[in-house]
Chains A and B, each alone.
Chain A
Amino acid sequence: MFDLLEKKPVILLLLAAVVIMIGTTVTMIAPFKWINDPSQKIVGVKPYTPLQLEGRDLYIREGCNNCHTQTIRPLVADVARYAPGSTDGYSKVGEFVYDQPHLWGSRRTGPDLARIGGKYPDAWHYKHMEDPRSMVPKSNMPGYGFMKQPLDISLTERKMKALGFPYTPEELDAVRGKTEMDAMVAYLQKLGNDIPWRKAAADAPLVGNLTNPFAENVAAAAETGKVLFQQNCVQCHGVDLKGGIGPDLKTSALSEGDLFSKIFQGKGGMPAFGDTLGKEKVWKLVSYISSRKGLK
């Protein structure tokens, strides 16, 4: 039979096409029946607003997906790092139903961004986008200062219509006078911010003993705490703890237990450090902050 094929190019061509279509049908065409099924819908996930959509298009234009992924895998390390404070914060099908195209990416030169929304205050993003190394000294992310230019809104409405996303005149108006940076930050702040479990995770109070295990030996703990602070916190609270994007910590009224909870769980623009640093290091930070309180 093969000998015959080698003399009949048309049959060879057709047969090759058929052979190619078998795997294609099973693994590419058939899954359309299951993927994005209405039963996988997540209630909180809404289509993009005009401003967020423009931001997403800028993300595509700049090729941020060449360095950043947007899918968190159900692996311990992935969840702890990119969906801190949860155990099931990995990505689900329902999160992506409005993503045309998907932006999952294939390479994590930088961190995953699927849950970046709400992790930092807007002010952090503006500074970081303009000059990443001012916030994270060893970063190799390009600076995007030029994105302070006005946003091109000539296609906004056409884009919303093309994707069939609902919008109000007010929302459409809201893109007027915005910069590209505004749109980009609006998009970043949306990412992962509409998934219900996340809010639950952040609001649950910490259980367990909230007393400083280093109370006996604060000075030594504060020494390590200082190093940790310089690595993780100065970009927002300043070298002198006097604040910047985050508040002045020298005047903080929080108790040690509350300081611990705040750092461990984060909240309102303060990132959660519990999963990335662990209890011990967080207590060392608390020791450091306590030791600086009231000092000039």
Chain B
Amino acid sequence: MSLKTGYSDDVTRGFLTWSIIWGLVAVLVGVFISFQLVFPQLNFPPYLTYGRLRPIHTNAAIFGWGIGSFMAMFYYITQRLTKVPIWSPGLARFQLWLFNLVIILAAVSLAMGYTQSKEYAELEWPIDILVVILWVIFAVNIFMTIMKRKEEQMYVSLWYIIATLVGVAVLYLVNNASIPVSLFKSYSAYAGANDANVQWWYGHNAVAMVLTTPPLAIFYYFLPKITGVPIYSHRMGIIAFWSLIFMYLWTGAHHLLWTPVPDWVQTLAMGFSIILIAPSWASVFNGYFSMNGQWHQMRDNYLVKFLIFGITFYGLQTIQGPSQAIRTFSAFIHYTDWVPGHVHMGALGWVSLVLFAGIYYLIPRLYNTELHSVKLANAHFWMATVGQLIYSISMWVAGVQQATMLHATNADGSLHYTFMETLAEMYPYWHMRAGGGVIYLVSLLIFIYNIIKTIRSGSAVGETLRATGAA
């Protein structure tokens, strides 16, 4: 615990270190599987084939990099907003080790081929149980801290944190229900179209409760900290919050348009997806309006760039998403490269940019020092943005082209192109995507170098009495 502030930050330091490591792993694997799609010789069976590596990529990215950073920042933010130290620093430290254990087990077991096969819920049941324990520890610790708070009013970030804690718990438990056969093998508790419907109720709300509410909590906390001006409208924040968490849960079946899932479920999903633009953009506007009179900071303050580009990609993402949820458009782009284009604008643009801003803000403060190089941070920013745009734009074009070819018919009703003729056209785009990925990877290495230099130049000890008992 810090003598100066009374807060317990070593667990935030620990989570940040590890989330960056897992983020690097995720991007390395992402780049590698991008190359596998162009050079299939890069598949090294049995452990390193595309089919086994893709889930390692998504799990490392969402759970290792995403959730790891959220845990770090939630602990930091909650203490500041409640003005009390973490309820139990010991539990938090245990949580860090359990978290790393889970991610390592996840990577190893997925490479071995132990998987439940449902997207973002691949991990087999023994690891699921560890995840549940991990989450309960986290939720209880954060919530108890909130209960003991000294600041009566809860700032908007705390509501998003609370919603995340409940939301993830419900989703994870329901979708992972399974019938174990052995320690390494289980079958889903649901069958066929039911299983699909439960899966995408989960899958889309993983987007809501992992890739939307936590980065929003972080955005709402750091934007005022970094710009020095308060959030534009508290009221708009409230309305956006309740309508967002209400609407998201209706939309899962937009991943299942035109499948055997009942039509009315699909139609509801389509409708709610479209009105979801409103609460999503309320947050975007809240960000933009907070910048009134402060736009010069986009030039002067590198952290503002990360946040404002981040929320802008979030805005684009939440226009593109609803359009994909419309039946006619879905008929066209579903199953094509368009979707990875959508995914990575959110993952690389929105989620990662906001996390980078948070980490750049925190590391100098957690180690009592200054950032090693703002120049490098700017280089990181531009390369990451360019890499991401190359990725997303090449995939949108690829998706539209393949969709057009797949749907083209001749006068007699027969198809104009065979599947392989459409696939052959994808290679140039897949090369581009791999190139964009490499640029992003280099930007990430610059970031990591900058962070390491910063940490080396400072010290956590100055402020904190480390290790046993002293605190």
Contacts and interface: CB of A to CB of B under 8 A. Distances in A.
Nearest to B45: A146
B414 A80 contact: yes
Contacts of A106: 119, 255, 335, 339
Nearest to A30: B265
Interface in A11-40: 12-13, 16-17, 19-24, 26-28, 31-32, 34-36
Contacts of B51: 62-64, 66-67, 142
Nearest to B169: A17
Contact of A142 (B40, B242, B407, B408): B40
Q: Is the interface of B mostly helix, strand, loop or mixed?
A: helix
B197 interface: yes
Contacts of A13: 143, 162, 165-166
Given A12-B162, A28-B198, A64-B51, A96 B260 contact: yes
A248 to B, nearest CB: 24
A94 to B, nearest CB: 8
B132 to A, nearest CB: 17
A73 B331 contact: yes
B424 interface: yes
A91 interface: yes
Interface stretch (B180-188, B277-285, B307-315, B350-358): B180-188
Given A35-B262, A142-B51, A99 B250 contact: no
A61 B115 contact: yes
B55 A63 contact: yes
Given A81-B415, A278-B414, A2 B238 contact: yes
Given A28-B252, A93-B193, A9 B38 contact: no
Contact of A32 (B119, B194, B418): B194
Interface stretch (A133-141, A197-205, A253-261, A284-292): A133-141
Interface residues of B, number: 95
A276 B420 CA distance: 11
B117 interface: yes
A73 B419 contact: no
Interface string B99-119: 000000000000001111111
A285 to B, nearest CB: 13
Interface string B113-156: 11111110000000000000000000000010011000011100
B54 interface: yes
B40 A111 contact: no
Interface string A114-154: 00000000000000000011001011111111100000000
A9 B162 contact: yes
Given A20-B245, A280-B412, A62 B49 contact: yes
Nearest to A109: B37
B246 A22 contact: yes
B198 A17 contact: no
B457 interface: no
A23 B250 contact: yes
Interface string A54-84: 0001001111111101010111110011000
Contacts of B256: 104
Contacts of B46: 146
Contact of B418 (A2, A95, A232): A232
Interface in B206-264: 238, 242, 245-253, 255-256, 258-262
Nearest to A10: B147
29 contacts: A6-B159, A9-B158, A10-B147, A12-B162, A13-B165, A13-B166, A19-B245, A19-B246, A23-B248, A27-B197, A31-B197, A31-B265, A32-B194, A60-B117, A61-B113, A63-B54, A65-B117, A66-B54, A73-B258, A75-B258, A76-B409, A100-B187, A102-B192, A139-B420, A142-B40, A142-B51, A155-B185, A278-B410, A278-B414
Given A35-B194, A104-B259, 8 more contacts: A19-B245, A75-B407, A80-B413, A96-B193, A100-B192, A105-B335, A159-B185, A278-B414
The 8 closest A-B pairs by CB, nearest first: A96-B192, A23-B249, A278-B414, A63-B51, A142-B43, A101-B188, A73-B258, A61-B113
